[in-house]
Structure 1
Amino acid sequence: MRLVDLIPAQFRIASIALLLVVLAAGSAALAWTVQGWRCGEQLERQARLHSDTLKELSLASAALQRNEQDKRFALEQRLQNKDEIHHKELIDEQTKQARLRDRLATDDLRLSVILAATDTTGSCSVPATTAAGSMVHGTTRAQLDPAHAQRIIGITDTGDQGLIALRACQAYAKEVSTPK
């Protein structure tokens, strides 16, 4: 006796159909599970590749940032050194100007200017009259009043400070704009 003979005749077609549906559903479930495993493995591989790529990118970014920070630090150091040099030049110039003002104030030093030649007859630089006890020949000079000399020194001091500041600004601009 066969198994099909045990099923009543009115239910045989339904049971065969049910058996075919169970077989189809089982094979579909099995195929679905296998596909899930395969897709899961692919997704896992892709996730691993993605995380590795992100790790490499973050390491490259960190190295680039470290490199830029090193460049910035080197630039700051160079600028600080240049600033110290220009500050020293400025202090030295101010000290020199102060000494010059002190020498002018104590009459240790007198400023003089060359006078325009008034002799139109000849080109001799020897004066027509000589001062008593003086053997100096050459262009005629006039000594400046100490107050005027102090003002001239103040003007040149301001000009010197301006030139030093200008050199410092130019060095800063050159240092910042020149790629290293």
Structure 2
Amino acid sequence: MSALDLIPVPLRPWAAVLAVFFIAAAGAWGAWSVQDWRYGNAMAQQETKAAEKAQGIAEAMAAQLKREQDQRLALEGRIKTDEATHYKVLTDEKKARQLVLDRLATADLRLSVLLTAGAGSAGMSTAAGAGGLDHGATRAELDPAHAQRIIGITGDGDEGLTALAACQGWVREVLATGAVPPGR
């Protein structure tokens, strides 16, 4: 006896339909599983490629960031050195000016101005001292208070020129590298 004989005759067409349905369902499930497996592999490959590409981009960005940080640190070092140099020049100028002011205050140093031939003694040179002739131009001594003011004004001008030179050096460094250090 066969399996078909076990099914009653009025239900055999339904059994055939049910068998065809199960065969079709098994084929569809098998095809679906194979497609899922193939699609999963394709997606895994795409994810791997995307991850490798993202890793390459991240490494390139990290290298670029490192280069820019190195350039910034080098620029900051050069600017720090320039600032130290300009600070030293400025303090040396202040010390020299203070020394001149101190010498003026103690009458150790006297400032004088050159007089033209028409001023003073009508074109006549000063009288010769005992022991030689005076062949130099006529000069007039300045009052110590006026001399100190003149030294103060010229000192302020020197400080301004030193500060300007420092700023110009900073701008040249920044423009040469094309980067602006932070905090500036």
TM-score range normalised by the length of the shorter chain? 0.7 to 0.9
Aligned to 2:92: 92
Alignment partner of 1:130 out of 120, 127, 132: 127
Moved more, 68-77 or 8-17: 8-17
User: Counterpart of 1:169 in structure 2: which amino acid?
Assistant: C
Amino acid at match of 1:95: K
The CA distance in 2 between the partners of 1:136 and 1:16, in whole Å, is 144
Q: 1:14 to 1:115 in 2, by over 3 A?
A: same
TM-score, normalised to structure 1's length?
0.88
Q: CA deviation at 1:52?
A: 1.5
Displacement after TM superposition at 1:111 (Å): 0.9
Equivalent residue number for residue 122 of structure 1: none
**Any idea what SS the aligned residue of 1:116 has?**
coil
Preserved contact between residue 89 and residue 162 of structure 2 (Cα < 8 Å)? yes
Q: Name the CA distance, whole Å, in 2 between partners of 1:77 and 1:128.
A: 59
**1:40-88 Cα deviation digits (max 9, x unpaired):** 1111111111222222222112111111111111011000000000000
Q: For residue 46 of structure 1, what is the aligned residue in structure 2?
A: 46
Moved more, 105-114 or 29-38: 105-114
Question: Which structure 2 segments of 5+ residues have no match?
Answer: 179-184
Q: Deviations over 1:144-174 (max 9, x none)?
A: 1111111101111111111101111111111
For residues 12-23 of structure 1, what are the structure 2 equivalents within 5 Å? Answer: 12-23=12-23
CA contact (8 A) 2:104 2:148 kept: yes
Describe the SS at the equivalent of 1:118.
coil
Query: Residue 126 of structure 2 contacts residue 134 of structure 2 at CA under 8 Å; is this kept in 1?
Result: no
TM-score, length-scaled by structure 2: 0.86
**CA distance 1:142–1:6, change in 2 (3 Å):** same
Letter in 2 for 1:155: I
Aligned with residue 145 of structure 1, among 121, 143, 146: 143
Matches within 5 A, 1:3-82: 3-82=3-82
Moved more, 156-165 or 131-140: 131-140
Secondary structure at 1:142 match in 2: strand
**Ranges of 4+ aligned residues in structure 1 off by more than 4 Å:** none
Change over 3 Å in CA distance of 1:105–1:95 after alignment to 2: same
Separation in 1, partners of 2:164, 2:125: 47
- Distance in 2 between the 1:128 and 1:142 partners? 12
> RMSD of the alignment, in Å?
1.9
Percent identical among aligned pairs is 45
Task: Give the gaps of 5 or more residues in structure 1.
Answer: 120-124
